[in-house]
């Protein structure tokens, strides 16, 4: 029997009308259609104090639950608004709580939403951060520039928003499919190329 991967999306925007959160829900929808169990970890719903190593567990709000969700995910979609050419403090705070225990052997897909035209440094910063805690970051990533012009009102769509162009929607949904396809990356399984070299 094929195991069902769990895919968790973490949105680094706390904004009520966040484009990042909308896009991540499209990622999750595509992942669900590809066979995953999905969860949106919406940081607005969790009490996650700014990380302080001196805080006792009891003082760390919902940190234990956030870490559990990240640790138990087979694959993670990390989404963030571009803030000052990097990723948001809200998402950095999640990273400061999480480490190898949470990310080891976890497949990670990245998405960034920019008000302007540039998201490259944001995605690179996220990629480096996840690499540092041994997550497996997918080559496929999504950058949404000029975010306010990339969505159109669609009352029946997720958050009442559809994508203004099909190519962007396809990139976003592809991220969801790839997270499922590579949700069980296992470094102990030799690749076909390695076997051919033997």
Q: Least distance (Å) from ligand FMN to the CB of residue 7?
A: 19
Q: Does 149 bind ligand FMN (CB under 6 A)?
A: no
Q: Least distance in Å: CB of 86 to ligand FMN?
A: 8
CA neighbours closer than 13 Å in the CB half-sphere of residue 42: 13
Which CB, 83 or 103, lies closer to ligand FMN? Answer: 83
| C-alpha dist (Å) from residue 56 to 7, 14, 52, 110, 154 | 29, 25, 9, 31, 46
Residues 104-123 touching ligand FMN, rule: CB under 6 A, are 113-116, 118
The yes or no reply on residue 147 touching ligand FMN (CB under 6 A) is yes
Taking contact as CB under 6 A, which single stretch among the options 12-20, 67-75, 96-104, 176-184 is the one that binds ligand FMN? 12-20
Closest to ligand FMN by CB, 107 or 122:
122
CB of 45 to ligand FMN, least distance (A): 16
**Exposed/middle/buried for residue 87 (C-beta within 10 Å: 0-12, 13-18, 19+):** buried
- 27 or 147: CB nearest ligand FMN: 147
Instruction: List the interface residues with ligand FMN, window 78-107 (CB under 6 A).
Output: 81-85
Q: Taking the complex as a whole, how short is the minimal distance between the CB of residue 134 and ligand FMN, in angstroms?
A: 27
Between 44 and 64, CB nearer to ligand FMN: 44
Any idea which residue has 């805690």 for tokens?
133
Q: How far is the CB of 77 from ligand FMN (least distance, A)?
A: 14
Please, what sign has the CA dihedral across residues 50, 51, 53, 59?
positive
Residues of this chain that bind ligand FMN (CB under 6 A): 13, 15, 18-20, 81-85, 113-116, 118, 147
């Amino acid at each position: 029997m094929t195991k069902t991967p769990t895919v968790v999306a973490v949105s680094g925007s706390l904004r009520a009308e966040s484009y990042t959160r909308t896009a991540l829900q499209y990622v999750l929808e595509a992942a669900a259609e590809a066979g995953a169990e999905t969860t949106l970890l919406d940081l607005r719903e969790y009490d996650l104090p700014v990380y302080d190593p001196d805080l006792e567990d009891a003082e760390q709000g919902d940190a234990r639950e956030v870490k559990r969700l990240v640790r138990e995910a087979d694959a993670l979609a990390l989404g963030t608004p571009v803030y000052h050419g990097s990723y948001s403090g809200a998402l950095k705070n999640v990273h400061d709580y999480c480490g190898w225990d949470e990310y080891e052997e976890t497949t990670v897909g990245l998405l960034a939403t920019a008000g302007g035209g540039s998201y490259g440094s944001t995605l690179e910063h996220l990629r480096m951060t996840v690499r540092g805690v041994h997550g497996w970051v997918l080559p496929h990533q999504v950058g949404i520039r000029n975010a306010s012009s990339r969505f159109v009102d669609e009352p029946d769509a997720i958050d009442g928003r559809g994508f203004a162009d099909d190519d962007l929607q396809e990139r976003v949904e592809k991220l969801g499919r790839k997270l499922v396809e590579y949700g069980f990356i296992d470094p102990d399984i030799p690749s076909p190329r390695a076997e051919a070299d033997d």
